[in-house]
Structure 1
């Protein structure tokens, strides 16, 4: 069993987090202890009662306690067993006389429950939260493991080191253990694919319903240049708790990924012209009339086309993934004629459609494109029309090496002696 304690200044946040899970069918209320109201029939009054107790000590800023008790996926616990373990845990850490709510969640691959309570007592005293995890929680957790015969938490983290990277598949949130599923995907993608940026890496991870995030603008994660990995649902929305990059084997942190970006940019350069030729041939002969149709024909060549879509559902970029060579390119990395705006023009598309959501917006061809669509291609300079190229020319193109090789990696020419 693993216990996690989070203390905050707002009792409403943990309450509504769990209550919303219940409304969505992803959780159920196991018990409501020391509450003066019937929580099942007066759900809104429960948080008011907690707030009134918190208001007894307005001078105490940290007054909310949110605890999660996590059990091994191999353990089959009934609701009564889990509720009793939670009661014993709360009693052991000194919160037995406090009002608290116990919720069981079903949105993860392992059984777990959440407890919402406050450290403000009815007599206006305050339960100290200083080092509560080390001094109170850990001894109680180990005692409960022995009492109920639970699988011990120690030594469980070493299991992820034996993961076979070829077992990676789409991560289904709530169906499998999150960290183990993420580890499989990261081991199968990060050392194998040749990506040059975090956006290109995310295009590949998205195939497996995974995303790497640097945190919101101004957040502590972003300021410290951290990185977390999250699971996506079928709509591309983040689900569950993010897991820090440093907790995975191989340490896929932002610092280590940036080292790969430079090496990958050189390694993938020999595949650039081959990929461009395949795209050009499909555009030439398949007469695609929609982005979804273009994706279908590229998929037959083992190429995945991943559109990048903003919050309004408008496509502002494209990423190409060559599954054979494992090379990943943003449209702008291949050239302006492979950017989102240029590709939509080349297939004579007047309706810009997000293939995942079905959102579409009509614009006159050649003008009036939204600003988001022009991020990759701000130039109005025209590209060479595909109709002016012959198939033979495309097939016989010389695959030259990329010119953006870093100066330090270029071979120095020997100076001729005079």
Structure 2
């Protein structure tokens, strides 16, 4: 069982996050200690906030007086409400919050059921509850609870992939911690070669990354900011600079990850290319149908369009294997403009042209021997050159993508000219 503890000063936001889950039927209240209960046995957000705020002295020096914790059993565990309630009671008692008011929510919005606990870090006299070595003590408590209730050890929970990583939720509070956990999880599990591909990965978790460049006393500094978004990709919070989150998510770490990924991606590209080609040859005339058929192949697709509806970017993601690749990285015939060409006129499917894409039953070994494959690998080398020189800068509006596309065409043209000269 994994415990995640955070401290915040936003009591309304923390309770609001959990009560909204209750309203949507995605959570239920298991226990409320030292809190007002209505005659019909219900707890309302207004009453819980009023009760907790009444216990906070006006002259309270502790700024982050709200305790928020999630207890996450192994996904394979199926625990009863009674067992979860007892675990929550013993956890809070042993951690030093047994006499505090607190409320326990059971979340079932994802496959892995877990509980959230909201309490106060100060008592009625304004004295702060002891939080020294809190996370270390918490780990000892969860280990003891695992032994007592015969639970699957928490070390096995951390082996799960980021497919279970929750979306960043600004209402919940502790945004920096959420962002840090999400980015570190993505960096650990996924392989990506550009910021655009990282953005496609993070979009699933309501997060985006942007590159920032500044100058100070004549010296240039490169950095990253992370921006929480809604389900449509719109920004919903102030950007957070990577340096304010912690190590492992900054510009240097991401650049290092991208460089290492380039060699790791190459042997995986042919399999993804083959899946995409097989799907496109079924002529999915709508983007929704394309997404559905790719998901059946184990691929997730992110399509980026400008204000006029033109596709200017496409990324394919294999969540199980942890790889994200832009269409152009699969080869010239899989770039965004090729998909835009298809969806503009689905009756004329370029992916059926065997002279460009080869036969459907061609084996991987034969693919690697064809002229088409060599040309695609040449394009990939140019793409990598571009990545090395300028990276894949993220733009929320997409206004800079035409510049990059033009640059790519220019470099490819130059590359082909150089090849012709060598043949002579």
SS of the aligned residue for 1:54 comes to coil
1:43: how far off?
Answer: 3.3
SS of the aligned residue for 1:73 comes to coil
8 A Cα contact 1:331 1:338, kept in partner: yes
Unaligned runs of at least 5 residues, structure 1 = 164-169, 238-243, 248-252, 350-385, 411-418
Unaligned runs of at least 5 residues, structure 2 = 167-180, 213-221, 235-244, 359-369, 389-414, 416-424
8 A Cα contact 2:60 2:126, kept in partner: no
Total equivalences in the alignment: 313
Larger radius of gyration: 1
Q: Hey, what's the Cα distance between the residues in 2 that align with 1:122 and 1:10?
A: 18
Q: Hey, what's the Cα distance between the residues in 2 that align with 1:327 and 1:73?
A: 25
Quote the residue 2:138 is aligned against. 137
Quote the residue 1:100 is aligned against. 102
8 A Cα contact 2:311 2:340, kept in partner: no
Q: 1:37 to 1:313 in 2, by over 3 A?
A: farther
Q: Does 1:33 align with 2:45?
A: no
Q: Does 1:69 align with 2:71?
A: yes
Quote the residue 1:309 is aligned against. 304
Quote the residue 2:93 is aligned against. 91
Identify, as 1 or 2, the structure richer in helix: 2
Quote the residue 1:147 is aligned against. 148
105, 113, 120: which one aligns with 2:115: 113
**1:286-340 residue CA offsets vs partner (Å, 9 max, x unmatched):** 9x996649959x98xx9x99563369894552327699xx995445996799555
Q: Does 1:54 align with 2:51?
A: no
Quote the residue 1:199 is aligned against. 196
Q: 1:56 to 1:332 in 2, by over 3 A?
A: same
Q: 1:109 to 1:236 in 2, by over 3 A?
A: farther
Q: What does 1:322-333 correspond to in 2, within 5 Å?
A: 328-330=325-327
Normalised to the residue count of structure 2, the TM-score between the two structures is 0.53
**1:89-134 residue CA offsets vs partner (Å, 9 max, x unmatched):** 2111221221110111112333321110002212333223232222
Q: Hey, what's the Cα distance between the residues in 2 that align with 1:116 and 1:315?
A: 46
Q: 1:146 to 1:56 in 2, by over 3 A?
A: farther
SS of the aligned residue for 1:318 comes to strand
Quote the residue 2:6 is aligned against. 6
Q: Hey, what's the Cα distance between the residues in 1 that align with 2:70 and 2:284?
A: 51
Q: Hey, what's the Cα distance between the residues in 2 that align with 1:8 and 1:33?
A: 20
Q: 1:131 to 1:290 in 2, by over 3 A?
A: same
Q: Hey, what's the Cα distance between the residues in 2 that align with 1:322 and 1:33?
A: 45
Q: What does 1:274-313 correspond to in 2, within 5 Å?
A: 292=287, 306=301, 308-309=303-304
8 A Cα contact 1:65 1:116, kept in partner: yes
Higher RCO (CA < 8 A, seq sep 6+): 2
Q: Hey, what's the Cα distance between the residues in 2 that align with 1:40 and 1:27?
A: 14
Q: 1:123 to 1:152 in 2, by over 3 A?
A: same
Q: Hey, what's the Cα distance between the residues in 2 that align with 1:216 and 1:130?
A: 36
